Structure 1
Amino acid sequence: LAGKEDVILLDKLCHASLIDGAKLSGAALRVFPHNHLGKLESHLEWAHRERPDARILIVTESVFSMDGDRTPLSELIDLKKRFGAMLLLDEAHAIGVLGPAGRGLAAELNLTQHVDVQMGTLSKALGVSGGYVCGSHSLIDWFVNRARSFIFSTAPPPALAAAALAAIEFLQSEDGKTRRRVLWERIKLLRRSLPTQTPVATATQVTAEELGSAIHVWPVGDERTALNLARSLRGEGLLVPAIRYPTVARGSARLRITVTAAHHETQILSLCEALARHVK
């Protein structure tokens, strides 16, 4: 997708694998502050001015893994069109959760046709292993013949490929639709039931409607406090990992709560009650 003569513009909170891939490409790499469209636009202007013949690739995630917020996809697409750039969208945390048949954020917003490369993982909502890349027929043919990491990788076992296909078929079924409905009921229950007070005040907390994902962040701040809180919750049978530096910035440790359709209402309420006790 990009080489030494090209430019990659990457959201600051993109997953480490996207950052590493961008660095390995050899392209000029510029990082813009998280979801900051103004800074992205200035980087696009720089690329057009300084690298007029370069391919420009914007890289972002539909749902960000450590905050659970969405990318402003419609506005990103407007920018990419205006500057003739390409867009790579990582839907790892949106597949199975958002959009018709769980096809992700681009599908939910009816913008799939404007995303040049959609990628994601099979190991989260799909419950298998591996990943996928979607694009035009010509683009996929290009990857098959030119992507070094793909060419020199062993093909997945047939059983794994079959399991992935079965998971995709389930997403498209009535049972899959029911599972997503239950998931969103559980997400709303969590957001309604969580205590409003958290260990630290934060200006970045947003509502469930603004987030629109299965990931909820419980800000703690201090890393040791976050670890102790996660350990205490585990003692009560509640698995809520503590996220800390270097995964997130120093001083911004948090508990990362991920809801699934398999969670019972009583389990979610137990977590909320436990958090309320620990805050006191």
Structure 2
Amino acid sequence: MPATTAVGDPFRPLSYISQSSAFTSDPGSYQQHGPPPRSNPDDQNVALRRQSQDSFVLQTGSPTSQGYAEFDIETQNRRANELGRTATRYHTRRRPFNQDEFDGPSQLLPLPVPQQEHARSQTLPSLPVHLDVDEQDEITLRVDDILSRCAFHFVAKYQFPIPLERDKPRVRAPADREWTEWAYLLKRLATKRRIPARVLYDNQIKQFVTTLENSIAVRQNGREQSPRTPKDDRYMLQLVSAATQVARILMDSLSMEQLDALYRQTESVILERRTRLRGLGFQ
């Protein structure tokens, strides 16, 4: 016979009370009338471990210490601020297409006084010329030949690539390209960092580009013009001197010797003719 309580209801087993207490509308009724629930050591360990993890998360400030949505918003704001600082640091304001720095704030120098303008506006003095056009062409062709051989040897020695062109044959000899074409190739190789500085004289990679440009500029003597005006002596000596500097940077001793001999020969002819003309009273 089941045991009865003071009210007269039969005493229900503990297991049944624990199962039905989950559906009761008054949780306090179970705590008042039923015995306390049994404690499971495993549940206590899990609770302690979860509490320690929560405290660690709060200390480290990881994404789980706050909502993932809040963490994503904070991360996006932080990245936006970093991108904003980077943009203001490295990007400048773009100018309109048809404007440059001279359209912005600038200054104008005061006009020169009339005395200075008159002194600098006189007829330009004539520079000495002791070589005729044919002799200058011969010197120019000699320089082109020496520099073309020098460039051909340099490109072949270090196996630098030569881009193929449809309207030009493959390079098999130095004469297959003019010196202006060789100079352009060397300039492109240098600006594209295909030529290491260690293969040049005194690592002069920056001076090399400037020297090549000078050697190309002095060669624009207007052969197509008619009648042609001979260049002055300093121009021709500068031509041979610039070629010598190119051969020096490329560390070609043979080309340097040939160009140095050509320079001394040209200078000797100029001095000899100048002396003879002075003896005749023309200078």
Same fold (TM over 0.5): no
Greater per-residue helix proportion:
2
Greater per-residue strand proportion:
1
Greater relative contact order (CA < 8 Å, ≥ 6 in sequence): 2
TM-score by length of 2: 0.20
TM-score by length of 1: 0.20
Structure number, greater radius of gyration = 2
